Structure 1
Amino acid sequence: MNSVSRPTSQMPSFDVWNAALAQAANAIGSRAFPDALAAALRLLAPFQMMNGFIYSPDGHAFDLYNEKIVAERSLIVDRYLAGAFVLDPFYDAIRADGGARMIVMREIAPDDFAQTEYFRLHYATTEIIDEIGFVLALETGYIAVLSLSRTGNAALFSEEDLQRLRSAALLVCALGSRHWFHVSGLSLEIKNATPAARIEHPLLTKRELEIVTLILKGHSNLSLAAVLELSPNTVKVHRRQIYSKLNISSQAELFRLFLA
């Protein structure tokens, strides 16, 4: 997720920012809210796409806001909701801590994330080159992440961009939570959810399935060794055994086997 550096945007005047926030607050509960919130946030840092997903306490994912996603929905949203979300670093982050805050993809993603099949299918298709998310607390333990993404030839979010967005994060989370708070209780899709995706296989041990999950999420052998408190050589042995048991030779095959 690399791009060229470009001049950062400037902080808006207090009057302009205040007016944009007031417009967003007044739109809470209406279809105009997402656009009003996006307009306010673009005053702090330009971005090309805003979208979001909801996560249930029992490990499901649902659509929060993807009306203007920059890609074919069936390729991105539907595939994500069908199970690929379990590989999303944002999903791991909110499972560890569902508190309102801003999270930055490049700060939390595993070291080999950009080499994963998930990255190729999800990020390459949308042309996302940088992404931040606001964590929203919804009713009955549901959590949402509302993401801002830069795509194509845009620059990465600068440190100044990130600082401005972080400064506004608690306010953005409060507004977003207020607007979407009851959506999980109103959605028939959520009420009629199918069982959550699981990474499992009868030929693999619990430890091997743990390693498969971390490989698919983008952890290198060195990162795997650190996370699991194993030696790098032990990780390599496990990895060879997994591939041998499954009769595969690449991470792409591994991805297709578990999350096609």
Structure 2
Amino acid sequence: MLALDVRLEVGMEPVKGKVYRPALGLMFDDKVITAFSNLWRCLGNADFSTAVMDVLDAVCPTDSCGVLVFYTQRKPLSLLHRFNPVDRKVSADIYSTGPYALDPQYRLFLAGCPTGAYWLRDVAPDDFYSSEYYETFYSKTGVADSVDVLWRIDEDSALVFFMQRNIHSSEFTAADLTALNMVLPILSEALAKHYQLAAALPLANPDDKTHQQVECTLSHFASSLLTKRERDVLLYMLRGYSSALTAEKLNTSDGTVKIHRKNIYRKLEIGSQAELFSLFINCIPFARPEENTDPLQLYQQSHQPLRT
């Protein structure tokens, strides 16, 4: 076996003579060597995204993985999905129907994060793992942990290689992130070369209005019933922020946020975050971006009983 030797800076007491630092090695076993060899063969070819995913999976094994394109003005586009859900009742395409808007890693992309490997537990809000988004979306596929390897194309788009482990597997570790960051510079150069040789990335269907409806729902959901500050609190609730962290973000007190939460439940006539999340997702198809109206109003009107 060959070993890639990467020297890490560590805090050490000053000593006379040479200072020897411990080395962290990524073992280039047969699987890793085969994956890298195939990567070079696929440069400029249609199978290149699959080859990149094979390298990442060889370096850091996963249960499910795939490739997305993130856009700022369109919904994510799926290029590859090796989907192995624990519960097969859920479709692999559910992410792109609206839940992506609440994904911490997608929000990080929108904030302009650079190329890098991002571990969900490092970027998620403090209450994310007990949030209804996590329970309703992630638990349906059995995903327990994920890492996104994001490669910036430009300000408005990025390739995202998502890596997932399910509830029956071990979670990712800091060592996994270190290994991914070790190969990321090599993959970045290969990706840049590939897109010099290959055609441009396919674009999402320009006639698909899902993203506009999702953005409209984020902007106007419950606006006819809630105050602006209550809507601010509501959006943090949907994304998995605790009352304390929401208060910090909004520069107010924890007690004030809890009062807003109670008012939100009362005005929307719901009793739990599960109902709130379900209501938000159900409203997306009713959003009318060109009108900037509250999709909740339209949703409620469509569900009013017919008069006889």
TM class, shorter-length: 0.7 to 0.9
Letter in 1 for 2:54: A
Which runs of no fewer than 5 residues in structure 2 stay unpaired? Answer: 1-24, 283-308
Give how far 1:43 is off.
3.1
* Equivalent position to 1:169, from 163, 184, 200: 184
Indicate conservation of the 8 Å contact 1:48/1:151, yes or no.
yes
Partner residue of 1:255? 277
Equivalent residue letter for 2:151: L
Letter in 2 for 1:68: R
Stretch deviating more after TM superposition (221-230 or 67-76): 67-76
Deviates more, 1:60-69 or 1:94-103: 60-69
TM superposition score normalised by structure 1: 0.83
Of the three residues 231, 243, 251, the one matched with 1:229 is 251
Q: How many Å separate the matches in 2 of 1:76 and 1:29? A: 31
Q: Structure 1 residues 154, 248: closer, same or farther in 2, change over 3 A? A: same
Tell me, yes or no, if structure 1 residue 64 matches structure 2 residue 78. Answer: yes
C-alpha separation between the residues in 2 aligned to 1:133 and 1:28?
22
Give the number of the structure whose residues are more often helix, by fraction. Answer: 1
Matched residue SS, 1:138 = strand
- Deviation of 1:18 after TM superposition, in Å, equals 5.3
Q: Whose RCO is larger (CA < 8 A, sep 6+)? A: 1
**Aligned partner of 2:43 among 6, 28, 51:** 28
Equivalent residue number for residue 65 of structure 2 = 50
Instruction: Tell me the secondary structure at the aligned position of residue 256 of structure 2.
Output: helix
Q: Judging changes above 3 Å, is the alpha-carbon distance between structure 1 residues 227 and 154 closer, same or farther for their aligned structure 2 residues?
A: same
Which structure is larger by alpha-carbon Rg, 1 or 2? 2
Distance of 1:117 and 1:14 partners within structure 2? 41
2 CA distance for matches of 1:16 and 1:120? 35
1:152–1:66 Cα change, 3 Å: farther
Distance in 2, Cα, partners of 1:97 & 1:139: 10
Q: State the Cα RMSD in Å.
A: 2.7
Runs of 4+ deviating beyond 6 Å: none
- Report the residue type matching 1:25 in the other structure: W
Question: Any conservation in 1 of the 2:148–2:163 contact (CA below 8 Å)?
Answer: yes
Q: CA deviation at 1:193?
A: 2.6
What SS does the corresponding residue of 2:271 show, helix, strand or coil?
coil
Residue 245, structure 1, aligned to residue 262, structure 2: no
The one-letter amino acid of 1:133's match is D
| Alpha-carbon displacement from aligned partner over 1:188-236 (angstroms, at most 9, x marks no partner) | x432230240222211222222211110111111111111111001101
d(CA) in 2 for partners of 1:73, 1:54: 24
For these two proteins, the number of residue pairs brought into alignment is 247
- Of 22-31 and 209-218, deviating more is 22-31
AA of the residue aligned to 1:13: F
* TM-aligned CA deviation for residue 102 of structure 1: 0.9
Greater Cα offset, 195-204 or 209-218: 195-204
Are the structure 2 counterparts of residues 191 and 87 from structure 1 closer, same or farther at C-alpha, using a change threshold of 3 Å?
same
Match of 2:96 among 81, 106, 110: 81
What displacement does 1:128 show?
Answer: 1.4
Write out aligned runs for 1:126-165 (5 A): 126-138=141-153, 141-165=156-180
Q: CA deviation at 1:146?
A: 1.4
Q: Distance in 1 between matches of 2:78 and 2:126?
A: 28
Deviation at 1:92, TM superposition (A): 1.1
**Mean CA deviation greater in 154-163 or 72-81:** 72-81
Of 99, 102, 114, the residue aligned with 2:129 is 114
Equivalent residue of 1:61, what SS? coil
AA partner of residue 42 (structure 1):
D
3-state SS of paired residue (1:67): strand
Q: Percent identity?
A: 26
Structure 1's 29 and 165: CA in aligned 2 closer, same or farther, altered over 3 A?
Answer: same
Residue 89 of structure 1 deviates from its aligned partner by: 0.5
User: Which amino acid in the other structure matches residue 242 of structure 2?
Assistant: S
Query: Given residue 227 of structure 1, which amino acid in structure 2 is its aligned partner?
Result: K
